[in-house]
């Protein structure tokens, strides 16, 4: 506070707080502490989402099936995925390729939709069958199987919609680059678990 003395050549300044009521100072101090705005909830702890996936579609082979378990945590999303692509043979064994993969990626969640990308190491297996003994026309009674296994790099991209917190559907594009037999596929998926 500024005090003017007409007989003095100096101007005397007294701190405002020194002349204020101590209770008023305490109220002002408490009011200035940072906190959530009125009508705003304070942010809670980071959430974890856990859900299972199963899907069917088409890809490098006529039939593609995949399943997985995903955990979305604050540092990203981890997915344990299994997939198989197979030819369709009515009268005998079908050539197929499959993989098991551990994927890491990101998941972006909106109100009822999400988008996720992931990649990671995989073990892939390709099976090719050759008929060595036929018992009738178009019917094979004995096969020779050629099996190839290799490490690979698996990936996926998914766009999903969750009408409920525990139920969702999505479309996925996924694949595996490996030495046994690389593949790609697209599937329509069903998700159950905590999605949002």
C-alpha 196/C-alpha 113 separation (Å) is 9
Say whether pTM exceeds 0.75: no
Residue 99: strand, helix, or coil: strand
C-alpha distance from residue 19 to each of 4, 12, 16, 80 (Å): 16, 14, 6, 68
- Residue 172 pairs in a beta bridge with 158, 187
Q: What are the E-state strand segments in 137-166?
A: 139-164
Nearest to 126 by CA among 143, 152, 100, 146: 146
Model pLDDT, residue 3: 52
C-alpha 97/C-alpha 180 separation (Å) is 8
C-alpha 190/C-alpha 167 separation (Å) is 8
**Rounded CA Rg of the chain:** 32
Model pLDDT, residue 18: 44
Low-confidence ranges of the chain (pLDDT < 70): 1-46, 136-138
C-alpha 177/C-alpha 154 separation (Å) is 6
Per-residue pLDDT tens digits for 77-87? 999 999 999 98
Residues 175, 155 contacting (CB under 8 angstroms): yes
Q: Read off φ and ψ for residue 31, nearest 5 degrees.
A: -70, -25
Per-residue pLDDT tens digits for 7-43? 555 545 445 444 455 555 444 444 444 444 444 444 5
Model pLDDT, residue 144: 80
Nearest to 57 by CA among 188, 191, 190: 188
């Amino acid at each position: 506070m500024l005090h003017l003395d007409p007989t003095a050549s100096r101007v005397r300044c007294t701190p405002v707080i020194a002349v204020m009521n101590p209770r008023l100072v305490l109220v002002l101090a408490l009011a200035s502490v940072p906190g959530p705005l009125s009508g705003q909830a304070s942010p809670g702890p980071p959430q974890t989402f856990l859900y299972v996936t199963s899907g069917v579609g088409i890809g490098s082979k006529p039939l593609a099936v995949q399943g997985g378990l995903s955990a979305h945590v604050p540092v990203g999303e981890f997915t344990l995925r299994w997939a198989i692509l197979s030819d369709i043979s009515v009268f005998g064994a079908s050539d197929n390729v499959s993989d098991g993969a551990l994927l890491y990626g990101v998941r972006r969640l909106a109100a009822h939709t999400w988008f996720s990308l992931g990649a990671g190491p995989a073990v892939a297996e390709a099976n090719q069958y050759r008929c060595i003994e036929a018992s009738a026309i178009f019917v094979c009674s004995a096969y020779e199987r050629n099996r190839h296994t290799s490490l690979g790099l698996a990936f996926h991209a998914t766009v999903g919609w969750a009408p409920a917190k525990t139920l969702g559907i999505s479309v996925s594009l996924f694949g595996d680059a490996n030495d046994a037999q690389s593949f790609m596929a697209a599937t329509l998926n069903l998700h159950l678990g905590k999605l949002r």
